[in-house]
Chains A and B, each alone.
Chain A
Amino acid sequence: MNWRMTRLGCLFLCAMLSCVAQAIDSERAFEDDAMQSRYQKIIAEVRCLTCQNQSIKDSNAPLAQDLRKVVREQMAAGRSDAEIYAFLQARYGDFALYRPPFTARTALLWLSPLILLAIGGFAVFRVVHRRAALDIDTDGD
């Protein structure tokens, strides 16, 4: 194996991984590791309202930047995760949170996977049941 190729490959791999590791903010928000990971978790849970299929962690829209700033400030001020989510929810509604609270309005959203699973399960059950009922040759020939 060509040694140079291997080294080049390693270098390429490192370059790719560094892209993954780089956050949208050029600097860490908090020195403290626990705070930093809490921050990363919160901003991944908040929807960027102007670019609706991204979290404020993934978006560099001005509003996402402003909201990240708000999250940083409130964390620094000692607010809990729940308080920060409540702050955003009061202004932007349930839609701002990727995990909205379970209410009458969000019930269908939360329950639809279960409903689909039930429909799928029922369909499988019926197919299996019907096949079992068929008088087929169990020897397979």
Chain B
Amino acid sequence: MRFLAPLAIFALLGIVFVIGLRGGDPGEIPSPLLSKPLPEFTLARVLDSTEQVSSQTMLGAPSLLNVWGSWCVNCAVEHDFLMRLAESGRIRIFGLNWNDERANAQQWLADRGDPYQFSAHDGEGRVAIDLGVYGAPETFLVDADGTIVHKHIGPLTDAIWRDDFLPRLEALSQ
């Protein structure tokens, strides 16, 4: 009986720690927007401030909405992947350029290549707030009807694409 109480406390703490350690990134917050319609937006295009682009364009086939900024270090990390994905033609990629200077964003696309159908310039971060964005890069998988199927926070990689996106994308086209 004497040793039982400390042992029980130890076991309980052990369980708590295992859950805490295996639970993934504690900073990652589940989005309440999953399975909900993508918030509609109309913004000026990054490449041309006189041209308006709209989330309506994304409808009709599954697409990705990638939130990026030229100030964002991890966006540079995932850029090569996005370029390859765009070249593969597997899915259309749209960009939301978040809290960025237009000139810097344009320079970024000129330097590194442009994987996006368009990038919408969200200079004031309004659309980002509607999307519950808190740290770029974030990537939303949206189905043909405009419903958010999946959200990934952090840079995309081949492994994440294969494990988290591809199965969902294949399920959509069935």
Given A70-B129, A91-B129, also A63-B30 (CB < 8 A): no
Within 8 A of B (CB), among A45-69: 49-50, 52, 62-63, 66-67
- Contact call A50/B129, Cβ cutoff below 8 A: no
Which A-chain residue is minimally distant from B9 (CB atoms)? A119
State in angstroms the CA–CA spacing of A49 and B124 once bound together: 17
Instruction: Decide yes or no whether B135 CB sits under 8 A from chain A.
Output: yes
Chain B contributes a number of interface residues (CB within 8 A of A) equal to: 17
Instruction: Decide yes or no whether A40 CB sits under 8 A from chain B.
Output: no
Instruction: Decide yes or no whether B113 CB sits under 8 A from chain A.
Output: no
Which A-chain residue is minimally distant from B133 (CB atoms)? A63
State in angstroms the CA–CA spacing of A50 and B129 once bound together: 12
Q: Mark A76-94, 1 if CB is under 8 A from B, else 0.
A: 0000000000000111110
A88 to chain B, nearest CB (A): 9
Query: Can you list 24 A-B contacts with CB-CB less than 8 angstroms, sorted by A residue number?
Result: A49-B135, A50-B135, A52-B27, A62-B99, A62-B125, A63-B125, A66-B99, A66-B124, A66-B125, A66-B128, A89-B32, A90-B32, A91-B32, A91-B33, A91-B129, A91-B130, A91-B131, A92-B29, A92-B32, A92-B132, A92-B134, A93-B29, A93-B132, A95-B29
Could you say which residues of chain B place their CB within 8 Å of the CB of A93?
A: 29-32, 132
State in angstroms the CA–CA spacing of A70 and B31 once bound together: 19
State in angstroms the CA–CA spacing of A70 and B125 once bound together: 10
Q: Mark A26-52, 1 if CB is under 8 A from B, else 0.
A: 000000000000000000000001101
State in angstroms the CA–CA spacing of A66 and B130 once bound together: 12
Given A49-B135, A50-B134, A50-B135, also A66-B129 (CB < 8 A): yes
Could you say which residues of chain B place their CB within 8 Å of the CB of A70?
A: 129
State in angstroms the CA–CA spacing of A25 and B27 once bound together: 26
B92 to chain A, nearest CB (A): 25
State in angstroms the CA–CA spacing of A91 and B99 once bound together: 18
A133 to chain B, nearest CB (A): 15
Could you say which residues of chain B place their CB within 8 Å of the CB of A49?
A: 29, 134-135
The 3 closest A-B pairs by CB, nearest first: A49-B134, A91-B132, A66-B125
Could you say which residues of chain A place their CB within 8 Å of the CB of B125?
A: 62-63, 66
